[in-house]
Amino acid sequence: MKRVTYLFLGVLIAACTSIDCPVESNVATLYQVCHSDGTELKLSDTITVTTKTASDSDTIVYNKGIGISSFALPISYKHPEDVLVFNFDNDNNSLHISDTVWIKKEDYPHFESVDCSAAFFHIITDVRYTCNYIDSIVIKNPSVTYDSKTVHFYFYPKSSN
């Protein structure tokens, strides 16, 4: 009887999953701020980014970035298009400019193990934007996963800013 019990425990332990869930499970897009020649640029103005929630209220997704050359923004997993409002201000309040950015994407579920939380990865298919402060936004890598170091967008402000 003991042998059957030990055998059963051995089979049970061998059947357990050995997949480790990712520690960094945030799915976000990374923007690299660039000069028109492609070199890195630090924004001299303050940037705040907002979006609408499911209840149609504004929420801040990035707050008061100053002197930054890159920034990460979360991405939704239920909407085919994210709408972001980029607000730019300077220290003496003489500048307040807003641009709206629309990001179209395809969402797909990502499964690692039943022990891990559910996740959605994305393929960015298009980006549109207004051009008050922004000169252009270019898709560099359309695949959005857990990788927090991959640049997804090159962000080019107008040269006068």
What pLDDT does residue 12 have? 44
Given the DSSP bridges, would you call strands 153-157 and 28-33 parallel, antiparallel or unpaired? parallel
What pLDDT does residue 11 have? 47
What pLDDT does residue 14 have? 45
Residue 144: CB atoms within 10 A of its CB come to 21
What pLDDT does residue 2 have? 60
What pLDDT does residue 114 have? 72
Compute, in degrees rounded to 10, the torsion defined by CA atoms 56, 62, 65, 70.
-130
- Averaged pLDDT in 10-residue chunks for the chain of 161 residues: 54 51 75 91 91 78 91 88 91 83 89 75 94 94 88 88 54
